[in-house]
Amino acid sequence: MCGFFFLYNPTANDSLLLERSKAALQRLRHRGPDDEGVTGGTNWRMGHRRLSIIDLSNSKQPMSDPGRRFWLAYNGETYNYKELRRSLLPHWQFRTNGDTEVILAGLIHFGEDFIQRMEGMWAFCLWDNEKKTLLLSRDRIGKKPLYYQTDERGLCCASELPTLSCISDTRREEDMDSTADYLRYGFYLPGKTAYKNICEVLPGYNILWTPGKTIREKQYWKLNIANTVPKDKRASMDLLRSHLQEAVKKRLVADVEVGAFLSGGVDSSLIVAILSEELKVKPKTFTIGFDDDSHDEREYARVVANLFQTEHKERCLHEWDRDLLKKLLFEHVGQPFYDSSLLPTAMVSQLASESVKVALSGDGGDELFSGYQRYQARALLRLYTRMPNFARSGLKRLIRSIPEPFSHHSRSVLKKAHLFLDTVDKQETERPYIAPTLYSSDNFRQLSPELASKGHTPPPLPESCHNDDILEMMVADALVYLPQDILLKVDRASMAYSLETRAPFLDHKVIELAFSMPVNWHRNWFGGKKLLRAAYADLLPESIWKRRKQGFSVPINHWLRSELVPDMKQMLGGELGFLNKEFIERLLSEHIAKRRDHGHRLWSIFVYLMWLQKTTA
């Protein structure tokens, strides 16, 4: 795992290009503490910081062909690089043993078509110094980041937004359509950022650019939704076990030790089980916990660690860490980011980085196998909407008359009932479904009348997913929520501590297999992950399969009734942009009085105001 930048600016002299290159490399140091390199020519520079995982002493970047026409900067891992290397031997004399040179050789000889043969995670830039063309590419599901900015003078791109600011001439300006998206969903839509004219390369896309011309985007992968698996469910489960075992095995490709995150949930526990039982690897495992029992999963993680006799380490997040949040937001993410589990993800990454350079995760299991509680809520919504109006109104009044519990929803039926009514209130906002929203349409207008009509056009989903509302949600979560929230969070939090994370569930063959199965194989009226459980019933204890769905959540509802309240009130006295102060104060008042749990809404506002007031200071 690494970080890189590219800069083309015909108006900058060599001194300025050198100065910006040094600043960019320094800003990327956390992504690659093992080595650095920079190269360039007339009007351009390319730089790279390396975290050495494969071919430790060689494979220096930026890497060129022998004639020094093509230059490559690459971040990621291509797990099938040895197979690809063998296919390239008739065309190329290799000087190194890593995957970087394989990609360079493949792109030179086969062009963009070679990318479809790659299996792994990546973002890269390839500069053709003869034709003056730049190729940018990002992996199929968006595990690795790549941001870019173009203007009349040139183009710059980088692995992180803060690095992009080191090499860009353009003054940053808030994109109000993106702000509306952030306040609705808690993240920015694919391809967009908080800033006008700063974009991200879309997952599954390549970009080709030549100075003086507009960029050309080309999609090389799209998710195909079709029931193409064997109709026999047992045969499909066997196929899933084969694909997932192979995906885990591929992600052990490294010249350093590979560990695993272990939350005690089904997905991370299953990865550890496959490692231990099927591949006979005893990984070091890592867990983060909380003093708040309703959010602490260490007990379940210990069960799995003891079962598979892993070398297990854990750490506890005792209280919220203001300095860590600021560091992650301003030095790594570079824009507002709502998901509060960024904090414990950073802490468990720091813990893991003290022992290993690579950790496997269970990311993707919920999206692929219908694990989220919101899918269950949508199924219940079908029944709720068939009830007579008087029955729905009476039920709603009854539930809302009882104060909303502040415990985690996994431990409270009443909490789930309140959250279900939130889903009812937001159903108009979430049709068509793009991602879970934080507000109903009416509440969003109260939060910001000026932003209510704003927002970017969401990316289109495969046409075939619209015939089933739960399938539509699963596909949208895989193509929007997963890359824009989960994968962004894990990349920035782990790379802040120079740790590479790999997600076996997100092998594109596993993704395609999961979405080729009927939804009713994954979910029934009582819950999700039915096929996954049936396929792996022998690997995990019943206590793990039967435990309530929890997720990697943080007790922000408690923080926003205690230590965060003074910070929130202080920020409400500062720059608010287009936000309605009175509405936010009402949310805060209801939350402190325990009349309603507005923790997630208030947290998204808190993070946005922290960013806004810093950038406008």
pLDDT for the residue numbered 391: 73
> What class does CATH assign to 233-370+469-546?
alpha beta
Using only C-alpha atoms, the chain has a radius of gyration, in whole angstroms, of 24
Which band of pLDDT confidence, cut at 50, 70 and 90, is reported for residue 438? very high
Quick one: which H or E segment has residue 555?
none
Q: Is the pLDDT of residue 403 over 80?
A: no
Residues 6+ apart with CB under 8 A from 463: none
pLDDT for the residue numbered 223: 94
pLDDT in tens, 477-487: 999 999 999 99
pLDDT for the residue numbered 429: 67
User: Beta-carbon neighbour count of residue 152 at 10 Å?
Assistant: 7
Closest-CA residue to 438 (of 422, 459, 415): 422
pLDDT in tens, 331-349: 999 999 999 999 999 999 9
- 536 neighbors 380 (Cβ within 8 angstroms): no
- CA dist., res. 467 & res. 214, Å (int): 37
Do the domains spanning 2-219 and 233-370+469-546 agree at the CATH topology level? no
Question: Where exactly are the structural domains of the chain?
Answer: 2-219, 233-370+469-546, 555-617
User: Beta-carbon neighbour count of residue 394 at 10 Å?
Assistant: 12
- Computed over every residue of the chain, the mean pLDDT equals 92
pLDDT for the residue numbered 412: 67
- 369 neighbors 531 (Cβ within 8 angstroms): yes
Q: Which CATH number fits domain 2-219: 3.90.1150.10, 3.40.30.10, 3.60.20.10, 3.30.930.10?
A: 3.60.20.10
Where would I find the beta strands (DSSP E) of 459-537? 500-502
Q: Is the pLDDT of residue 135 over 60?
A: yes
- CA dist., res. 514 & res. 507, Å (int): 11
User: Beta-carbon neighbour count of residue 75 at 10 Å?
Assistant: 29
- 254 neighbors 286 (Cβ within 8 angstroms): no
Q: Is the pLDDT of residue 447 over 90?
A: yes
pLDDT in tens, 508-521: 999 999 999 999 99
Is 73 strand, coil or helix? strand
Is 333 strand, coil or helix? helix
Read off the amino acid at residue 50: R
Read off the amino acid at residue 396: K
pLDDT for the residue numbered 417: 73
Return the higher-pLDDT residue of 482 and 381: 482
pLDDT for the residue numbered 609: 98
pLDDT for the residue numbered 317: 81
